[in-house]
Amino acid sequence: MSMWWFITTFAITSFICNSPAYAYDNNPLQDICVAVNDSQASVFVNGKICKDPKLATANDFYFSGHNVSGDVVPGLGFVSTLVDVNKMPGLNTLGMFFGRTELEPQRLAPLHMHPRATELITVLKGTLYIGFLVPDAANFFKSRLFSKILNTGDVFVIPKGLIHIQYNMGNKKATYLSFFNSQNPGFVIIANSIFASNPPISDDVLAKGFQLNKTEIAVLRKKFS
């Protein structure tokens, strides 16, 4: 009986482990990837093709410049130096992306999300209020806020795909590093995505969705366009 039980269990386990119904997809590397029925089309996933390994050099795995301010983001009060596969080719296929941000006093990195990555933040200098929102399992009309005040040397992790904020509540510039476990984490600013879409979302839809009138919607469009 024990041998029969072993054989039966082994057969069922083998079927489950090899059944196509239990297969899974890799995480997406880009926002959209539309299929095309064209044998002449080039195949791009994340827009990169691998270099011949014989041609690789140490410089492909090197970046210099994270000690200086980066590119200014107009109107938002922060500068960022982002290191992706375009700046460090050796990152290709490794599932990594990182950046250095300087946030001016009393300025906010707006509510946003990264659809393909968890983010780990390390504060190098200053004081940072940070938090993320998790849907409330008991009431899907509400959410739970997980937040902390971070100082130099503190670390905070933001789970993949959740809306979050970074706010410099201090009187000096805050500098922090962000590490992502995706080659292409994505960056979705919530307000701009909604009020500055192209083509625009219907005023009626926005007015009903946010319980505002069309005049208020027009003001928000102007602010976030």
Binding residues for Mn(2+), by number, are 112, 114, 119, 164
Pure H helices in the chain: 2-18, 190-195, 203-210, 214-224
Binding residues for oxalate, by number, are 114, 119
Place of tokens 């460090």: 88
Compute the C-alpha angle 82/85/90, nearest 5°: 125
Identity (one letter) of the amino acid at 64? S
Contact 69, 85 (CB under 8 A): no
Binding residues, by number, are 112, 114, 119, 164
Contact 162, 119 (CB under 8 A): no
